[in-house]
Amino acid sequence: MNLDDNDIRKLATLARINVDNSIIEDVAHKISDILDMIDQMQALDTSAVEPMANPLDAIQPLRPDQVTEPNQREAFQAIAPATENGLYLVPKVID
Amino acid sequence: MQWETVIGLEIHVQLATRSKIFSGAPCSFGAEPNTQACAVDLAMPGTLPVLNEQAVRYAIMFGLAVNSEINRNSVFERKNYFYPDLPKGYQTSQLEQPIVGCGRVDILLPDGSSKTVRIHHAHLEEDAGKSLHADFHGMTGIDLNRAGTPLIEIVTEPDMRSAAEAIAFARKMHSIVTSLGICDGVMAHGSMRFDVNISVRPSGSETLGTRTETKNLNSFKFMEDAIHKEVQRQIELLEEGGTVAQETRLYNGDTGESRAMRSKEEANDYRYFPCPDLLPVRVEQAMIDDIVGQMPELPDARQARFIGSYQLSRSDAGLLAADKALADYFEATVKSCNDPRLSANWIMADLAGALNKNGLEIAACPITPHRLGQLINRIADNTISGKIAKQDVFPALWLQQGEVDEIIEQKGLRQVSDSGALEQLVDEILAAKAVQVEQYRNADDKKRKKLLGGFMGPIMQASKGQANPAMVNQILRRKLDN
């Protein structure tokens, strides 16, 4: 499978990664190679294999519904770059 | 062209647990910002999630209530996206193996017919924090109290065909989760939030049109408005020869307008994968049996019981049973007065009216069910008339001026049923209205009925509403008709 420069630019946008124009061609080539390898693996018959969510043969322990965590806002906010009125401040979000 | 609307819903329900889904921080509403966000919620390095058993049990309760399969094995996955109110960079959710499988719910429509809506699945996940876009010197404020609040997301099949059906389903879900006690149902706090998927297609067509998703509606009214507007927008687009773009839209309840938020083209690729920090969840049969044994009565069953045991009409029973607090209030009132019919009438008319006027929920009602029951008892035993009960006693009870009997005595409201006193009162009025008495005697039956009111009014007025109306009527007829 061959990815072109535009594919890479779009993937970079979705992944929030800055890919410099000078290396786009190289990245396209490398990712195409990876996809070729995946194509090769698709030939394997996995129909009898159950998908695995976790390699451990164990189940999730459950916690009783109790409040165990006290308010430690001051300690947490002491290491935050910017806070105001108890809020963490971050660069303005545009959506 | 005739168009058909197709609607599917995604409903986020905040679970009424004490602590968060993966941490021991509290999740009550309205706390000071970030005072309920612990190291796990803040995604501090080295922290690990531990699943809250109650959240799992609540999800199972919901599944049982909507006739769903409970999946014995379910898996948490990471839904990856960047947003500052999501400190981990992913929302822990479920995708391939949700805890609640497909189910079905019957809804009652305004025209009295019923319809089945299929539930595709429901899964457990965590809520995100809140971004406050008010101006903090060009910055955005982040409150992570809500981060990690347990949610179930209920996803329906596209089975609804109108705003009315979607609202009926949404109300039914609200009724079920509040009756189960797994959600407080306070929409204004965001306890239930609705995403509506809408498409239109020519009537008779089998293929679905392109849908849009209107997100985060937190009132039934906004939901109804948003659906009407979006359906109209899509039909206008198509009739002008355009196409509907698959996109996410935001509805502004204040302005009644919606706008595109993001299109499918730029949609986030969430890169779901199984969360390595959480093991698969196994639900044992013993846990399901235990929950089945503790399931409270559901709204449909309660409605049926109200019809069977109390002889209420289907619509009255449905209205009362849909709201657990209201239904509990009704049953407590019946316990005090043993008159289901009058109890239902008083609760749905006077009480509901007063609550509505004062913007109160039934839980905050100043009149106890016992006192309302006493009031009904005093009407039934003819101590007071229904009119006096409405005009004088009920408002005094609302202001918590005392017990029913105290109020009746203090205000001297006792109904006059002493026939001697009533005879005298009737004689006085008849003597003062000699002309009208003559008119009455010369009138035919039909006209007489009308004229009788002309005597009843002044008599009731003279008795300050306390004369027993049935007795006055009887005495009047006897004196006039002979």
Of the partner residues B18, B39, B84, the one whose CB lies closest to the CB of residue A66: B18
- Answer yes or no: are the C-beta atoms of A88 and A77 closer than 8 Å: yes
CB neighbours (10 Å) of residue A20?
8
Could you give the CA distance from residue B283 to residue A15 in angstroms, rounded to a whole number? 36
Q: Is residue A93 part of a domain?
A: no
Q: What is the pTM of this model?
A: 0.82
Answer yes or no: is A89 within a domain.
no
**β-pair type (A62-63, B51-52):** parallel
Strand, coil or helix: B260: strand
pLDDT band at A94 (very low <50, low <70, confident <90, very high): low
Question: How does DSSP classify residue B199?
Answer: E
Burial of B270 (0-12, 13-18, 19+ CB in 10 A): middle
Closest CA to B262 of B253, B250, B272, B244: B250
Q: How many independent structural domains does chain A possess?
A: 1
**Which two three-digit tokens encode residue B274?**
């199984």
Q: What does each of the 482 residues of chain B score in pLDDT, given as a tens digit? A: 899 999 999 999 999 999 999 999 999 999 999 999 999 999 999 999 999 999 999 999 999 999 999 999 999 999 998 889 999 999 999 999 999 999 999 998 888 889 999 999 999 999 999 998 877 888 999 999 999 999 999 999 999 999 999 999 999 999 999 999 999 999 999 999 999 999 999 999 999 999 999 998 999 999 999 999 999 999 999 999 999 999 999 898 888 888 888 665 555 688 899 999 999 999 999 999 999 999 999 999 999 999 999 999 988 999 999 999 999 999 999 999 999 999 999 999 999 999 999 999 898 999 999 999 999 999 988 888 888 899 889 999 999 999 999 998 888 777 777 778 888 888 888 888 888 888 888 888 888 888 888 888 888 888 877 888 888 888 888 888 76
Q: Which of residues 32-51 of A touch B (CB under 8 A)?
A: 51
A16 touches chain B (CB under 8 A): yes
How high is the pLDDT of residue B263?
Answer: 65
In whole angstroms, what is the distance from residue B146 CA to residue B26 CA?
A: 10
Rounded CA separation B189/B351 (Å): 25
Q: Do B133 and A60 touch (CB under 8 A)?
A: no
Task: Note whether B282 contacts A16, CB cutoff 8 Å.
Answer: no
- B267 touches A: beta carbon within 8 Å: no
Closest chain B CA to residue A10: B266
Which domains can be identified in chain B, with CATH numbers?
3-288 (no CATH), 297-410 (no CATH), 419-481 (1.10.10.410)
Q: Distance between CA atoms of A79 and B4, rounded to whole angstroms?
A: 56
Classify A88 as helix, strand or coil.
Answer: strand
Residue B133 CA to residue B84 CA, distance in Å, equals 12
Alpha-carbon distance of A28 to A24, in angstroms, equals 6
- Residue A70 resides in a domain: no
Residues of chain A contacting residue B143, judged by C-beta atoms under 8 Å apart: 86-87
The answer to whether residue A34 is domain-embedded is yes
Structural domain boundaries, residue A17:
5-43
pLDDT at residue B44, as a whole number: 95
Q: Nearest residue on chain B to A16, judged by CA atoms?
A: B82
pLDDT of A26-64, one tens digit each?
999 999 999 999 999 988 998 898 877 788 888 999 999
Residue A78 falls within a domain, yes or no? no
Task: Identify the CA nearest to B385 among candidates B409, B417, B340.
Answer: B417
**Does some domain include residue A50?**
no
Measure A89 CA to nearest chain B CA, in Å: 5
Q: Is A91 within the bounds of a domain?
A: no
Best residue in B36, B38, B40 for a mutation probing chain A (most A CBs within 10 Å): B38
